[in-house]
Structure 1
Amino acid sequence: MRDLFPVEAEEIVLRDWQSAALDSARENIRKGHRRQVMCAPTGAGKTIFGLALMDAAKRAGSRSAFVTDRTALIDQTSNAMDRFGIDHGVMQATHWRSRPHSLVQLVSAQTLGRRLGNGGYVDRNLRDLRFVLIDEAHTLYQSTLDWLATLPESVAVIGLTATPFTKGLGQYYSAIVNATTTDALIERGLLTRPLIYVATEIDTSGVAVCSTGEWDDAGLERAGVKIVGDVVAEYIKRTHEHFGGPVKTIVFSSTVAHGEEICRAFAEVGLNFANISYHDDDGERREKIAEFRKADSAITGLVSCDALAKGFDVPDVLACILCRPLRKSLTTHIQQLGRVMRSAPGKNKALVIDHTGNALRFLTDTVEFWANGVDRLDESAEKDRAARAAVKPEERKELVCFGCSAILPPGATACLACGRERPRRPSGVSHVNGVTQLLSMNARTGRKFDYGNHAILRDQADAYLSFLAFTTQRKKGDVEAGRRWAAGLFKGVYGHWPSRSYDDLPHNPALMTLEVERFCRNEMARYSKKRPANAAAA
């Protein structure tokens, strides 16, 4: 029991974006938004943000609850509360830390669903709450939603998520705080941008689509088992290439049986990969995860269908293997990538080997989300609605470097991996199964700018301010109108909207140089030529 060996509690210190997000959440509450979402990427410290709120509530003598949905996340969050000296109880089956009178309660979503309304300890001990946190709020458990509907209006509820794309999320929450973006954390060195290799893919051509819009699990299992040899071979090749040998790894399989086959295939080459599934009891699962967390773990890799995709925090994971093809769920794809992106001492590289086609299928959405986050709860934010089409062979040809098979982002004149000059026309070289290709997670546009060497465009924030100087002058000093126009110019140039953080950048009229004016006028002329004649005349 951890209470027998107390350690000195750490002070909760919030980073700048966490403090700003906290202020925004409080402002939303003052405006009457009692149900809101806090959107922040993996590694942004959503749990720390939540614990700061709960600690403040406890100090004020108020009761609060933190609802989460996995055994691993219950233990992980409880450890974090201990670290910061937050006394708490845990409501989860027969958990040893049942402390019904503690002001802070850590609640299993499954226990909440099974026992709520039975007149038992869950009903008794979740009365008189002033504050509720819902972890992984994009997962809409009906039992949790029903419980939230019974809470008085005086109870403030904040849902934490890195991926607020779920259909209907806006029905249960009325506001969202976009705390920071993935790109911003990467720029600060707080996340690691992954190198993504597209490898031999699971053949989904004969796999049925089920009612959810995703591929049928049984069909994926049959197709996935056929390439487990390629999975092992590619892993050995790439980890030796980048790290000199096998490293701590997470694998996402299509089914439990598929995961077991992957583990057997790795065992045949002397590597210990362990499957996490519903076959494990809580004790077995805790034991595997505890071993995996060790710096000198005897387990090289953990394999799971879904249990490790959300919130699982082992920062020194260096490699991730994707073996679960997805059609619609950007949420799952972003969450899976996030497992390898957390920063750790000495970690300067993260490797993803994609045997699913997901990285290319969701590339545009991923790049846009990493750059801008999400700042609204409406249909435009429901990114899990539609199936993504597979990338066409001709598109692959335009993206692949002839020298090293790295993906070439549009606009780059040379390969970012090997420096090879980009050809002016795509060649006829086609994709060959079994050959991995490095995927660059950079913005996609159809433009022909040499961004890296362009005086105006090499830095996106500076480019936005230059556009703003031009558009504000044209709008006769109306900065807000200028910002809207500048955002449109920015999207036309870079292929995505500017980061919301740019809204706070000050307007600088001195940036309105002759070169900036000439560039912006040329962009206006290009746009005018693209408009239909009837639109131009309207």
Structure 2
Amino acid sequence: MISSTILNTDEESTSDLYPYQQRDLSKLFEKMLQINKKQRILYQLPTGGGKTRIFSEIAKRFIADYNQGVVVLTHRKELCSQTSNTLKKLGVTNKVIDSTVKRLKVKDCRSCFVAMVETLRNRIKEGMMNTSDIGLVIIDEAHHNSFQKLLGKFPNAYIVGVTATPFSSNADMPMYKNYEHLIVGESIQNLIAQGYLAKPANWRYDVELNSLKTGINGDFTISTSDELYSSPAMLELLLHAYEAHSKNKKTLIFNNGIFTSKNVCQYFEEAGYNIRHLDNHTPAVERAEILKWFKKTKGAILTSVSILTTGFDEPTVQTVILNRATTSITLYHQMIGRGARRLPNKKTFTIIDLGNNTDRFGQWQTPLDWQLIFERPEAFAESLHAQTESEAHPIPADLKAKFPKSLQMSFDIQDAYKKALDSNQKPKIVMRDSIRQHAIMCIENAESISEGLALAAELSKEIDWRVKQYSKCLGKVTKNYTDWLKEDYRNKLNTIISKLMQRRKGNDTVALSA
């Protein structure tokens, strides 16, 4: 158990900490006083809240009070550099152990090491480091499971994990199996209210996602995402969303596939915008040049894949566009967090969601009960899975082909029902809105009333599915009532199509005569 002397606060070193950071720092050391080294602590703080600053302060105080070594584990080279620099600013000499370090010289035997996980594992195997001298291991981005294999190598160390989202995407390895205690930091909502994070303006567009498929990792596959987000309709929607809500603002666009990101870059270039593409295959020199350009260029647009979600900090970002769907709440928060930094001349930022992510996870700033999610991750995972399943109702490709002008073909009955109840409206408005949406699809893809009614007939299976979902929401309903709902739906759909197309025909006649 740790000695109480470590609670002595060095006012000079912590004077630049925010009050909530000071408070969390005290909580962390108080918890270390209460536990033994076999128990691990997990600390949660939102992206932009200053996790690196806090755990660097932990390292400094631990070394000063106990003269024991500290290891900070990361999973990316950029995070190594960022952490090392923060430690140096606090006066903590440290050595980065990455792939370039083949052996440690005497002069390199520092009190603090910052290490890539795989590299450190190899160096320990080679006998480079005496891990028994390490008294504290800090794990950045602790939700990654790759760290756990290494922790047994530090028998005399306290283990402190740090993450913005204490939820593992691996259902077989929930975080409570690796950490006994969770300390929850300030919420996003409170950080915004206190002026530490920028306030978001949220814009979401309903996107048809039923063509997306999930891979072995549980997230949507790159191939199906590329097919959807590289389509002319989605590229046009992206450009429209940018021009409507972010024109001339410094913008980050997150994509799931390189193919999509390059298409986005070309599409925006052809529209006359200053945009660059970046992915994890971009050479280091070119990447550095692109990031320098992005930092200095007013209104710059950077479209990227799998590279700017961690270890990237550019406070001048004004808009984040999620040009992808994800089932990962961690990735969702990491992407949006890239735009949340507050500056004296930047109190707000814009979020544009083109992947129904807001529906899946809630708005970024909406408070989450992280303690409950930590304790019951299975229930939280099931709720996310259920939401994804409701989105994944497959619409056959041959049916889609009959509605080429319709970008949106799905309608979430369960979500609409919930919203109706929440707003004290009668449930029947759900069927009304569903019928209207189907009517618009038929009208915008037909030249005549007969064509519109023919398209309505093509929707027969879709109508049956929607009515079935509606009946589930209502609870116990008879088969006779369900059959009546289906018949009533079709009759109202045909009536609306006929009336609106007749009205449109009349307007066209007037226009021609004029």
TM (normalized to structure 1)?
0.65
Please report how far the alpha carbon of residue 118 of structure 1 lies from its aligned counterpart in structure 2 after TM superposition. 3.4
Question: Matches of 1:358 and 1:157 in 2, distance apart?
Answer: 33
* Pairs within 5 Å for 1:410-421: none
Question: Is the contact between residue 76 and residue 311 of structure 2 (CA under 8 Å) also seen in structure 1?
Answer: no
Please report how far the alpha carbon of residue 85 of structure 1 lies from its aligned counterpart in structure 2 after TM superposition. 3.1
Question: Matches of 2:421 and 2:103 in 1, distance apart?
Answer: 51
* Pairs within 5 Å for 1:104-253: 104-113=112-121, 115-119=122-126, 121=128, 124=129, 126=131, 128-141=133-146, 144-152=147-155, 154-166=156-168, 167=171, 168-199=174-205, 201=207, 203-226=208-231, 227-240=234-247, 245=248, 247-253=249-255
The residue type equivalent to 1:344 in the other structure is L
Please report how far the alpha carbon of residue 223 of structure 1 lies from its aligned counterpart in structure 2 after TM superposition. 1.1
Give the corresponding residue for 1:262.
Answer: 264
Please report how far the alpha carbon of residue 38 of structure 1 lies from its aligned counterpart in structure 2 after TM superposition. 0.4
* Pairs within 5 Å for 1:24-423: 24-32=27-35, 34-60=39-65, 61-94=67-100, 100-113=108-121, 115-119=122-126, 121=128, 124=129, 126=131, 128-141=133-146, 144-152=147-155, 154-166=156-168, 167=171, 168-199=174-205, 201=207, 203-226=208-231, 227-240=234-247, 245=248, 247-292=249-294, 294=295, 296-297=296-297, 300-310=300-310, 312-326=312-326, 328-363=327-362, 367-369=366-368, 372-374=369-371, 377-380=374-377, 383-384=380-381, 386-387=384-385, 388=387, 389-390=390-391, 392-393=411-412
Please report how far the alpha carbon of residue 75 of structure 1 lies from its aligned counterpart in structure 2 after TM superposition. 2.6
Q: Is 2:15 aligned against 1:16?
A: no
Question: Is the contact between residue 318 and residue 350 of structure 1 (CA under 8 Å) also seen in structure 2?
Answer: yes
Please report how far the alpha carbon of residue 90 of structure 1 lies from its aligned counterpart in structure 2 after TM superposition. 1.0
Question: Matches of 1:285 and 1:261 in 2, distance apart?
Answer: 19
Question: Is the contact between residue 96 and residue 113 of structure 2 (CA under 8 Å) also seen in structure 1?
Answer: yes
With over 3 angstroms needed to count, the CA separation of the structure-2 counterparts of 1:358 and 1:205, relative to structure 1, is same
Question: Is the contact between residue 249 and residue 302 of structure 1 (CA under 8 Å) also seen in structure 2?
Answer: yes
With over 3 angstroms needed to count, the CA separation of the structure-2 counterparts of 1:367 and 1:410, relative to structure 1, is farther
Unpaired runs of 5+ residues, structure 1, are 1-8, 401-407, 414-424, 434-538
Question: Is the contact between residue 280 and residue 305 of structure 2 (CA under 8 Å) also seen in structure 1?
Answer: no
Q: SS in structure 2 opposite 1:13?
A: coil
Identity of aligned residues (%): 23
Per-residue CA shift, 1:156-209, capped at 9, x if unaligned? 1111111011141111111010121111111111112321211362x4323333
Question: Is the contact between residue 12 and residue 84 of structure 1 (CA under 8 Å) also seen in structure 2?
Answer: no
With over 3 angstroms needed to count, the CA separation of the structure-2 counterparts of 1:307 and 1:74, relative to structure 1, is same
Please report how far the alpha carbon of residue 298 of structure 1 lies from its aligned counterpart in structure 2 after TM superposition. 7.0
Tell me the number of residue pairs that the alignment of Structure 1 and Structure 2 aligns: 391
Question: Is the contact between residue 315 and residue 342 of structure 2 (CA under 8 Å) also seen in structure 1?
Answer: yes
The residue type equivalent to 1:133 in the other structure is I
The residue type equivalent to 1:107 in the other structure is A
- Structure 1's consecutive aligned runs of 4 or more residues displaced over 6 angstroms after TM superposition are 95-99, 395-400
Question: Matches of 1:183 and 1:16 in 2, distance apart?
Answer: 16
Give the corresponding residue for 1:456.
Answer: none
* Pairs within 5 Å for 1:383-532: 383-384=380-381, 386-387=384-385, 388=387, 389-390=390-391, 392-393=411-412, 428=433, 430=437
Question: Is the contact between residue 322 and residue 356 of structure 1 (CA under 8 Å) also seen in structure 2?
Answer: yes
Question: Is the contact between residue 280 and residue 306 of structure 2 (CA under 8 Å) also seen in structure 1?
Answer: no
Question: Is the contact between residue 131 and residue 154 of structure 2 (CA under 8 Å) also seen in structure 1?
Answer: no
The residue type equivalent to 1:89 in the other structure is K
Q: SS in structure 2 opposite 1:280?
A: coil
With over 3 angstroms needed to count, the CA separation of the structure-2 counterparts of 1:102 and 1:382, relative to structure 1, is farther
Question: Matches of 1:302 and 1:97 in 2, distance apart?
Answer: 38
Question: Matches of 2:132 and 2:300 in 1, distance apart?
Answer: 44
The residue type equivalent to 1:213 in the other structure is G
Question: Matches of 1:314 and 1:125 in 2, distance apart?
Answer: 37
Per-residue CA shift, 1:277-301, capped at 9, x if unaligned? 2212344334433443x3x337813
With over 3 angstroms needed to count, the CA separation of the structure-2 counterparts of 1:412 and 1:105, relative to structure 1, is farther
Question: Is the contact between residue 182 and residue 373 of structure 1 (CA under 8 Å) also seen in structure 2?
Answer: no
With over 3 angstroms needed to count, the CA separation of the structure-2 counterparts of 1:133 and 1:253, relative to structure 1, is same
With over 3 angstroms needed to count, the CA separation of the structure-2 counterparts of 1:232 and 1:365, relative to structure 1, is closer
Structure having the higher Rg: 2
With over 3 angstroms needed to count, the CA separation of the structure-2 counterparts of 1:212 and 1:30, relative to structure 1, is same
Please report how far the alpha carbon of residue 41 of structure 1 lies from its aligned counterpart in structure 2 after TM superposition. 1.1
What do you get for the CA RMSD once the two structures are aligned? 3.5
Unpaired runs of 5+ residues, structure 2, are 1-11, 392-409, 442-514
The residue type equivalent to 2:371 in the other structure is V
Please report how far the alpha carbon of residue 12 of structure 1 lies from its aligned counterpart in structure 2 after TM superposition. 5.5
Per-residue CA shift, 1:126-181, capped at 9, x if unaligned? 5511111111111111xx211102211x3111111110111411111110101211
Question: Is the contact between residue 177 and residue 375 of structure 1 (CA under 8 Å) also seen in structure 2?
Answer: no
The residue type equivalent to 1:337 in the other structure is I
Question: Is the contact between residue 310 and residue 335 of structure 1 (CA under 8 Å) also seen in structure 2?
Answer: yes
Bigger Cα displacement from structure 2, 278-287 vs 91-100? 91-100
Per-residue CA shift, 1:358-388, capped at 9, x if unaligned? 111222797341xx44366322477445422
Please report how far the alpha carbon of residue 69 of structure 1 lies from its aligned counterpart in structure 2 after TM superposition. 1.7
TM (normalized to structure 2)?
0.68
Q: SS in structure 2 opposite 1:367?
A: coil
Bigger Cα displacement from structure 2, 389-398 vs 46-55? 389-398
The residue type equivalent to 1:303 in the other structure is T
The residue type equivalent to 1:342 in the other structure is R
